[in-house]
Each structure stands twice: as C-alpha cells, then as structure tokens.
Structure 1
C-alpha cells in the first residue's frame, strides 16, 4: 500500500483523536503501525517480523484442540528461552495471518494470553525473539464455527 501525504495526515489525526478520547490506548495505536499486520500470507508475515524462525521446544502454545467458536479462540504463549523480547502469534490460514504482537519488557516473565479470531481450522504459530534470533512452535487448533466472516 502506497501512502501519500493526505492519507498519512488523515490516519494520524484519526488515531490521535481516538487516543485523546480514550477509545484506543497509545499502545494499541502504536501496534497499528507495526510491520507484518498488512501481510496476506504466512511467509510474508514471517518476513515482516524478521525472517524464518528455527523450531524449538522451549516455546509453549496453549490453545484448545477444538475451538467451538472461531471468533474467540483463547491462545497463550510462554517461553523458557533466555532474553525473550517479543512474541508474535500467527494463524496460518487467516486472511491476515499475524494476529498479535507483544513486546516483553526486560525482567518480565515471557508469558502472554490473548484471544484470536480463526476463520477455519489452522495451525497457530508462535514466534519468539530471543537474543536477536527468532524461534517458533506450532500447534493445530480445529474450529467448529468460523470466526473470520463465517
């Protein structure tokens, strides 16, 4: 997407208004500008967050094996990797695979929980950045009722 000056000013003004009214927090406004949320494939999203991660068993994904409603699928990610600074949660078959991105402050336990939308049964990919390198784990979750437009 190519942004021109007018679009940038309109978007910035709209976000500033939402933050001022308390509808959106400053952190949510910042997340809207993070790379990867515009990617339309898993490979593009992984490239946007830093490349292809190495698989590890030191990342744990907690999600239901079968989710009754794809509109609200609880997902938790934790890591025993040293110096974990970021988590990315991707849903492989979603129209926009990058579902969430978290910055882990220094001295904080790398453990996050959120809810994601899943349009269909898919792999959930958790990516962690540790010491500047990317690591990942994958867990399949089946969806009985679609959440992304279904």
Structure 2
C-alpha cells in the first residue's frame, strides 16, 4: 500500500506557509519602520502632498520661493515611454542639505516625493515617478536655509512609440 498525499495535506502546507509569511510580515511591520519613525523629527507634510499646483505644493512644503542652481543636477529622460515608471535622480554639491523633493507640474497632485536628508548623508536621491502626461519635473534642494532647484521637461508618450 502506498501513502497518498491528498488535497488535505496540500491545504495544510499552504495554510502553514501563509501563517509563516504573515508572521514574517508582522515582524517586519513591527520592527522595520520604528528606526525610521524614530529618526524622523518633522511632521509628515500632508498639506503639501494634497496640492494640485506646483507652486502651491512648494509653498506648502517650504514656505518660500526657489532659485535655479547649476549645483543641482537633475537626471531624467527626455522621453518617457512609460509614464507609470519614470526614472529620475538628483544630486548636488551644495553643503548643509536638509531635504530633497520632486514636483511634477502636470500631475493631479504636484508633489511626487520629499526626503529629509540627515546630516552627514550624501545629498543624492533616485526614484521612479508616475507621470500623468508630459510635464516639467522640478527637483528642489534645501541647503543652508535656502531653496535651490533644477527643472527638466519630460515628454510622456502614449503607447510607448517614442514619438
């Protein structure tokens, strides 16, 4: 007589596997974000992320105007064949950088991402943004109590034709 491993064994293994994954996920959820939350000393800029206009988002986040700077290097494609995943990065040679943010002028909500830069950290950030349509991408760098920027137009094609 041979041993038969029927559907009940398979279900049992699946349930055990789901339980193990949930346990690992729970451990990550309870242990993972605490150091990041403890390090954050500023309130989440909820109002800035709700703004539909780029200038209003910048004002809500920083409360002041920005000036273009050649020390802020924004790298973004000229043409994005997939607006759902647009790779961008920014780096700077400015000293005392405290934050870096990305604004997409024509998105339904202009502020796409904002990062606090801890002292001693290399001031460089890379991200993949979702863009609704062709738009200016503005990289904002707060350094030494001033706000600097670099802007680049990214053309989003429909259907990935590149034209």
User: What TM-score do you get using the length of structure 1 for normalisation?
Assistant: 0.76
Work out the CA distance in 1 between the residues paired with 2:138 and 2:53: 13
1:34 aligns with 2:45: yes
Give the match for residue 58 of structure 1: 71
Q: Which runs of 5+ in 1 are unaligned?
A: 1-18
Work out the CA distance in 2 between the residues paired with 1:100 and 1:128: 12
Rate the CA distance shift 1:20–1:48 in 2: closer, same or farther, 3 A.
farther
What is the SS of the residue equivalent to 1:22?
Answer: helix
Which residues in structure 2 correspond to 1:114-129 (within 5 Å)? 114-129=127-142
Which residues in structure 2 correspond to 1:78-97 (within 5 Å)? 78-97=91-110
Question: Which of 105, 109, 124 pairs up with 1:111?
Answer: 124
In the TM superposition, residue 21 of structure 1 has moved relative to its aligned partner by 6.9
User: What TM-score do you get using the length of structure 2 for normalisation?
Assistant: 0.70
Report how many residues are paired: 128
What is the SS of the residue equivalent to 2:141?
Answer: strand
Q: Which runs of 4+ in 1 moved over 4 A?
A: none
Work out the CA distance in 1 between the residues paired with 2:109 and 2:116: 20
Work out the CA distance in 1 between the residues paired with 2:43 and 2:109: 13
Q: Which structure carries more helix by proportion?
A: 2
Question: Which of 81, 85, 91 pairs up with 1:72?
Answer: 85
Question: Which of 143, 146, 149 pairs up with 1:130?
Answer: 143
Indicate conservation of the 8 Å contact 2:45/2:61, yes or no.
Answer: no
In the TM superposition, residue 20 of structure 1 has moved relative to its aligned partner by 7.7
In the TM superposition, residue 22 of structure 1 has moved relative to its aligned partner by 2.0
